[in-house]
């Protein structure tokens, strides 16, 4: 079992989910895309789990979150960068500042992938899963592993997350593996799944 205690301290995600993501990172057949790292707890877990030939691109809109229920913050990007340096993974992570659905951000991620297809996509942002799946579908491998936070919880954001995930499952774009914890785990359903993602 990896020691991820220092990463757990800067996230509200369940330790079990982060341990699964740490393990999946090494199994991902390509680079990793993360949307919504906040101040980097999940990013550290993914980066530590990656193989030496992998790269992690993390997308964060930044700003402040002063009324966060447990980890309030006045400068998200600054603390994200600081945590990645402090926990010694900064050299393995490319940080993209901006909204995930911005055309400029999507284009930048495409350039940074250098023709490779992502093998793992993790999303913990505003809940608009269908929108982000549609936007990043061109960059995903046909069996890309997927992890979406806040699926199996009881709050307003979860309703949006479940709607997008369930829609993608219903049209055969993605396949579930586990939804027992707050994070939904699954994968893209092959080439036909990629085509259907683009139509969400």
5-197: CATH topology: Rossmann fold (3.40.50)
Domain coordinates in residue numbering, the chain? 5-197
Report the distance separating Cα 180 and Cα 177, nearest Å: 10
pLDDT in tens, 136-157: 999 999 999 999 999 998 888 9
pLDDT of residue 71: 81
pLDDT of residue 4: 86
pTM, entire model: 0.95
Tokens of 167: 């829609």
pLDDT of residue 1: 57
Low-confidence ranges of the chain (pLDDT < 70): 1
């Amino acid at each position: 079992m990896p020691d991820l205690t220092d990463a757990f301290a800067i996230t509200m995600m369940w330790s079990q989910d982060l341990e699964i993501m740490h393990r999946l990172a090494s199994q991902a057949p390509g680079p990793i895309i993360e949307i919504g790292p906040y101040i980097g707890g999940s990013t550290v877990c993914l980066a530590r789990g990656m193989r030496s030939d992998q790269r992690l691109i993390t997308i964060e809109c930044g700003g402040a979150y002063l009324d966060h229920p447990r980890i309030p913050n006045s400068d998200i990007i600054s603390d994200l960068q600081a945590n990645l340096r402090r926990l010694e993974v900064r050299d393995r992570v490319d940080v993209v500042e901006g909204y995930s659905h911005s055309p400029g951000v999507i284009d930048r991620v495409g350039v940074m992938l250098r023709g490779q297809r992502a093998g793992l996509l993790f999303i913990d942002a505003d809940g608009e899963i269908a929108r982000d799946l549609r936007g990043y579908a061109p960059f995903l491998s046909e069996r890309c592993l997927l992890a979406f936070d806040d699926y199996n919880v009881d709050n307003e954001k979860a309703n949006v997350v479940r709607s997008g995930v369930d829609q993608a499952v219903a049209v055969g774009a993605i396949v579930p593996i586990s939804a027992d914890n707050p994070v939904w785990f699954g994968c893209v359903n092959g080439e036909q799944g990629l085509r259907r993602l683009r139509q969400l």
